[in-house]
Amino acid sequence: MERKLIDKILAEAPAEEPARQYFFADECRKIITEKENLKGRKLTCCINTFGCQMNAKDSEKLLGILKTIGYEESDSEQSDFVLYNTCTVRENANERVYGRLGVLKTYKKRNPDMITAVCGCMMQEKHVVETIKKSYRHVNLIFGTHNIYKLAELLFMYLAEDRNQTELLEGTDKIVENLPSERKFNYKSGVNIMFGCNNFCSYCIVPYVRGRERSRSPEEIISEVRRLSADGVTEIMLLGQNVNSYKADISFPQLLKQVSEVEGIRRVRFMTSHPKDLSDELIEVIRDNPSICRHVHLPLQSGSSRILKIMNRRYDKETYISLAEKIRREIPGVSITTDIIVGFPGETEEDFQETLDVVRKVRFDSAFTFIYSKRTGTKAAEMPDQVPKDIVDERFRRLLDLVTEISKEQTALYEGCTMEVMAEEVNSRDPSLISGRLSNNSIVHFKGSSDLIGSVINVHLDEAKGFYYYGTIAHDVSVS
Ligand code: SAH
Ligand code: SF4
Ligand code: F3S
């Protein structure tokens, strides 16, 4: 495109968001339509998402923008537009992205018109961007976590100038609302209630790549939930790095209650709750509102009070155990799940034993276990006494064996019961089965048809199989 024309379009662009992005999406659509006419087919896009629920939610917004521009969604990375939304919480997440980028290069040789883009948490790290610019020159767009809403503008600049674009912001206090979004599931949706994190756990890169905490207003959240409900969504997952530090004119528990009262919403979940500030009010609100799921994800990280202190978690072993006991006492049927890190710098066998002790005492219904990964820029990366790999691997095995054994026993507790299951999807291995979830987050497979998806059904849990159940629809009880 000629410079004059680009400047004219830029001068016409509205300054305020999201109007500006809708304007650029229109401009992109004109260019994409021309390309479609030349190729005689629609252009396709593929987003590959790494990392957590926040990234999954961001990807829905990114897909919404790409579809507004005129791309058709595809699962294949041999598409006309391929975007990686990256995660950097552990080193192996980064390695996977570099591996995929190598593969993309060969696809791009076959389709030189292909546009490749990377965004998300990894891009907030300077050394990553340098590596990509140096060694992966086939990447056309680079942006971060604070400006995903600008995809249309960046793509327009790339198409218009025919030049790679990079835009990275160090931080933001902005929350851009009302962008288009394409949900992955019809019946359930994540809803951001806050962005960023202020906790600076000493091992964790998230506060550096996601910036400081920003909470959305309750009005924005509730109106998004109402819109989703009107669109057929029955399950909401409220998302934040630490939902307990949600700051607005109402507290997180009050927000949770209001969301659960929105018409049409059958289930509400939330992720993640930091143990340091999980309030009695939250426990009461879960207890008293049956549509709030009987599930608390409460990351432990370590059972050693000494290590927890160095991790900057701001709770100790005893307070964690008594909090878990209180949750189990107050909310019958609740499941408690967790995240645990093995091999934090300086972790001794005694520290590790404390972790095993908490696992035995709390009896987690399930646990994500991670090997400590050194993240450049965090406090822990500077700490001496990084634990040797063979010791960490051996501890990891022992921990995994214990959590697996306990979660099997926990799952077996409900064998033979009839419980409410949200029907989620047709089982990918056996299409005669529907896979769904209990309120406590356990998975149940049962014979049924796809028209059940999105509804809550009573299912008899015939057989507990480790982490999941085989069940049968209970015909003697009402179906909704
Ligand atoms: N905000 C959430 C966690 C988000 S990251 C919380 O505080 O609970 C998800 C999980 O990744 C963490 O709970 C932690 O167990 C793990 N994790 C984070 N940084 C890590 C690192 N450097 N090495 C290994 N695991 C890590
Ligand atoms: Fe990371 Fe801690 Fe923030 Fe969770 S609370 S995102 S572990 S710094
Ligand atoms: Fe990963 Fe970013 Fe989430 S680092 S875990 S995708 S916030």
What are the residues whose beta carbons fall under 8 Å from the beta carbon of 15, sequence distance 6 or more? none
pLDDT in tens, 444-467: 999 999 999 999 999 999 999 988
- Give the mutation target among 55, 95, 370 for probing the ligand 3 site: most ligand atoms within 8 A of CB: 55
pLDDT tens digits for range 256-293: 999 999 999 999 999 999 999 999 999 999 999 999 99
Q: Which whole number is the average pLDDT over 321-347?
A: 98
What tokens appear for 456 in the block? Answer: 């809550």
- The pLDDT value given to residue 347: 98
Q: What percent of the chain has pLDDT over 70?
A: 99
Which atom of ligand 2 lies at the shortest distance from residue 200's CA?
A: 8
The pair of structure tokens assigned to 148 is: 């995903």
Evaluate if residue 480 carries a pLDDT over 70: no
How far is it, in rounded angstroms, from Cα 54 to Cα 58? Answer: 6
Of the candidates 111, 118, 101, which has an alpha carbon nearest to the alpha carbon of residue 44? 111
Candidates 138, 211, 219; CA nearest to 178 is 219
Query: What is the rounded CA–CA span in Å between residue 234 and residue 222?
Result: 14
Long-range Cβ pairs for the range 54-59 (8 Å, 24+): 54/192, 54/195, 54/210, 54/239, 54/241, 55/85, 55/86, 55/87, 55/120, 55/121, 56/184, 56/190, 57/190, 57/191, 57/192, 57/239, 58/85, 58/120, 58/145, 58/148, 59/85
Closest CA to 267 of 226, 236, 225: 236
Distance 364 CA to ligand 3 centre (A): 23
User: Residue 477 has what pLDDT?
Assistant: 52
To test the ligand 2 pocket, which listed residue (54, 89, 90, 201) has its Cβ within 8 A of the most ligand atoms? Answer: 201
pTM value?
A: 0.96
Q: Indicate the pairing of strand 194-195 with strand 214-215.
A: antiparallel
pLDDT of residue 372: 98
DSSP string covering 78-92: SSSEEEEEE--SSHH
pLDDT digit string, tens, across residues 30-44: 999 999 999 999 999
Could you tell me if the CB of 245 is within 6 A of ligand 3? no
The mean per-residue pLDDT over the stretch 323-338 comes to 98
Tokens of 101: 């980028």
Per-residue model confidence as pLDDT tens digits over 375-400: 999 999 999 988 999 999 999 999 99
Q: Give pLDDT, residue 385.
A: 87
Q: How many CB atoms lie within 10 A of CB 409?
A: 12
CA distance 148 to 144: 7
| Percent of the chain predicted with pLDDT > 90 | 96
Indicate whether 18 pLDDT > 60. yes
**Which residues line the pocket of ligand 2, CB cutoff 6 A?**
197, 199-201, 204, 206-207, 241-242, 274
Residue bearing the CA closest to ligand 3, atom 1: 87
CA–CA separation, 374 vs 117, rounded Å? 26
The per-residue pLDDT for 475 is 77
Query: Which pLDDT belongs to residue 9?
Result: 97
**pLDDT band for position 476 (cuts 50, 70, 90):** low
Q: Which two tokens stand for residue 144?
A: 């971060």
Q: Where do runs of H (alpha helix) occur along 244-297? A: 252-260, 280-288
Rounded to an integer, the average pLDDT of 161-188 is: 93
Q: What phi and psi, each to the nearest 5 degrees, are found at residue 340?
A: -130, 135
Task: Choose among 89, 157, 32, 281: nearest CA to 142.
Answer: 157
